[in-house]
Structure 1
């Protein structure tokens, strides 16, 4: 099966590279560092020390989630460096923002395409002592090459939904062989652990989610406070990490329910993907709503005019700041069957949270927060705006809900230390 899989990769490679170049029209980052995707590198890095730890975080969410683990690894192994791989320009930009504090001790690279020779060149160049895959990243040839070259593979902060399990099972022996090549798994929940064991992984521990251990940077809190001053005393309803198909639904429901909402409410929309910023701005304007882009607030003394109905969050790496600046947060990707995004960040800031019906990407965390009373589930965009109107009009209920969200977040801390204890010793 893996031979067939590899052959399919070779056949698809010209199309994959063509798509990479095509995507670079809107996101130039896809055209940069393309050599790394083929396992091609220059001279070895000047900080090539005695111990290299390879951490793979596919994109923005996984990169942010890896921060507590990367920080802890660098503290435990002061002679080590981290090679952080990702697959998207936004993930790489997030890595630069989050890990710039570590200087040369964190080296970034794109993950090579999952072909034996390409992964082999990566391993030969960086000589990792261990490969740590974040969350759901299981690549058959990557794992096989690590096994061949005696590089232990760990899956950290692991989650596997029923949907993903069924998808993996369709590939039969390919995914089972890959899973059995993983040395150790640190699963988020017992349910995740059971599904992972069903693939044949024997060494699985339950550690909880590392995302609960993320420390909010002071710079993000300061930026959020500055944004709040620019927004003024108006109630701010944040729709965070919205996905295609959701913004139109939300804007239509918002327009229909304006009389039920506080008259001075400010809607803050932050699309998950930056290539959609212009598209969403057009949607807002087409509905006759006055819109201001967050980037225009960077100028000294810039404030949001009182007639502005919507602020478009057109920046990257500022989600903590947006959460800080809002009164109520909706987590995108959950009105459509996309699985939802991470609600731990707003919970850690004590913000009341709204989610849609589709939260299978973060099922356990979402259910726990709902049971704690820190979040409310809604069935539609109209129900979302109705619940937002209720909470924005009831300070006591909103503050109580935010406090419950904070209690939920604090109760689940400690996964990073438990994950470190599971990892193989490196020195």
Structure 2
């Protein structure tokens, strides 16, 4: 018996009341968290219980918004490689679930990711009996993996990444995590560095296929919308993209401190917080500092006002429009020790980014982007604001950076098709073995 897994399972069981309380609190700001809560614990509605898809489901798990957008690229290729497939999509966050609902076709099904208790995951696996399970990026949950292994469901990790911090954490508990990583059926890593770290934990890495997010094709309608917003401003537009808690305050300190007030005032600022539940708090913070702010939710189909200092992007699903509007940006999550958000989507829209010191979530992509001039590294927000505003007013340098960003995004495509073909081979092999 694996006592580490037993102890983990006991903690997961004991934490269920806390999870329920957390969901109730989150639902106050994001009502999606109140939806279908029993699914979190492996209890499904009569509609789901009546779904005839056992042994057929291609199950894809994408925890949040970013992973769901990457999964969309893979799912598109999977439908080509496996004609007529039935998609079972699981998510962990309200934004991920809302985005994932757009990917469903007749015969598909979407439910919440089961909480990683033994009973919940066993009920999930027994209910759906997928032909294959695809975990996106980092979503390795001990009980879920072991339940799939026991039920002989091939479970793979796609677009896999593992930073040094997570590797070190897993290595501190080898009796728990090494058997779990070894129990995966296959792993396809984003980079060779990710592959080496995953192999150190016993993961069966089959190939390095690159990052699915390079296969993104920005929505043309959103691009046109962003271009219209850009035309509404006589100033260059600088975006603070997918900002995380603490980063707006860092940016605000530069403005209120007036160190860059004159220069910063020559730009139109667009701040897009990463999480919807923070929109109101960020708006209040900016207004309390005396800044004139206009929220995207107030614009409707018209142009944003040109007589305010900050546009606040308080919408979900419009990042391509925000990037199309911006001349250059500051990458959220990189000015706090949070690993950085996705700079690939910005590059695909032709928006070069200024990166803070913390980009371990996209380490290889960040390094390569800086090497080719599609992104620029700084030590802190002070340097970030200084560099972004300088580049925004340098037409020639900005044009080079924008072209480099587009070329960077285009040159790394192909991971979605390669991953889909590898998954299809596993499904076809499983079908032939039956």
Do the two structures share a fold, i.e. TM-score over 0.5? yes
CA distance in 2, matches of 1:308, 1:211: 34
Give CA-to-partner distance per residue, 1:216-261, whole Å, 9 cap, x none.
22332233234334x3333111111100000011122134212124
Kindly indicate whether residue 313 of structure 2 is the aligned counterpart of residue 319 of structure 1. no
CA distance in 1, matches of 2:254, 2:35: 40
- Identify the match of residue 16 of structure 1 among 19, 23, 36: 19
Q: Secondary structure at the match of 2:157?
A: strand
Kindly indicate whether residue 405 of structure 2 is the aligned counterpart of residue 405 of structure 1. yes
Kindly indicate whether residue 134 of structure 2 is the aligned counterpart of residue 132 of structure 1. yes
Structural mapping, 1:79-228, within 5 Å: 79-97=84-102, 99=103, 102-228=104-230
CA distance in 1, matches of 2:359, 2:241: 14
Structural mapping, 1:349-368, within 5 Å: 349-368=349-368
Alignment partner, residue 335 of structure 1: 335
Kindly indicate whether residue 44 of structure 2 is the aligned counterpart of residue 41 of structure 1. yes
Q: Return closer, same or farther for 1:195/1:95 CA change in 2, 3 Å cut-off.
A: same
Tell whether the 8 Å contact from 1:87 to 1:111 is kept in structure 2 after alignment: yes
Give CA-to-partner distance per residue, 1:394-423, whole Å, 9 cap, x none.
111001011111111111111112223433
Tell whether the 8 Å contact from 1:131 to 1:154 is kept in structure 2 after alignment: yes
Tell whether the 8 Å contact from 2:341 to 2:361 is kept in structure 1 after alignment: yes
Q: Secondary structure at the match of 1:55?
A: strand
Tell whether the 8 Å contact from 1:188 to 1:207 is kept in structure 2 after alignment: yes
Alignment partner, residue 77 of structure 1: 82
Tell whether the 8 Å contact from 1:352 to 1:399 is kept in structure 2 after alignment: no
Tell whether the 8 Å contact from 1:52 to 1:126 is kept in structure 2 after alignment: yes
CA distance in 1, matches of 2:197, 2:381: 32
CA distance in 2, matches of 1:363, 1:408: 15
CA distance in 2, matches of 1:131, 1:73: 13
**Structure 1 regions of 5+ residues with no counterpart?**
none
1:32 Cα offset (Å): 1.4
Q: TM-score of the superposition, structure 1-length normalised? A: 0.94
1:27 Cα offset (Å): 2.0
Alignment partner, residue 373 of structure 2: 373
CA distance in 1, matches of 2:201, 2:167: 8
Give CA-to-partner distance per residue, 1:167-212, whole Å, 9 cap, x none.
1112221111110110110000111001100111234311000110
Q: Secondary structure at the match of 1:426?
A: helix
- Identify the match of residue 59 of structure 2 among 54, 63, 79: 54
Tell whether the 8 Å contact from 1:159 to 1:192 is kept in structure 2 after alignment: yes
**Structure 2 regions of 5+ residues with no counterpart?**
429-434
Q: Secondary structure at the match of 1:260?
A: helix
Q: Return closer, same or farther for 1:214/1:184 CA change in 2, 3 Å cut-off.
A: same
Structural mapping, 1:228-243, within 5 Å: 228-229=230-231, 231-243=232-244
1:48 Cα offset (Å): 4.0
Q: Secondary structure at the match of 1:269?
A: strand
Alignment partner, residue 268 of structure 1: 270
Aligned CA-pair RMSD: 1.6
Q: TM-score of the superposition, structure 2-length normalised? A: 0.93
Aligned length: 420
1:347 Cα offset (Å): 0.7
CA distance in 2, matches of 1:354, 1:220: 23
Tell whether the 8 Å contact from 1:197 to 1:204 is kept in structure 2 after alignment: no
Kindly indicate whether residue 388 of structure 2 is the aligned counterpart of residue 383 of structure 1. no
Q: Return closer, same or farther for 1:44/1:126 CA change in 2, 3 Å cut-off.
A: farther
Q: Return closer, same or farther for 1:68/1:135 CA change in 2, 3 Å cut-off.
A: same
Q: Secondary structure at the match of 2:106?
A: helix
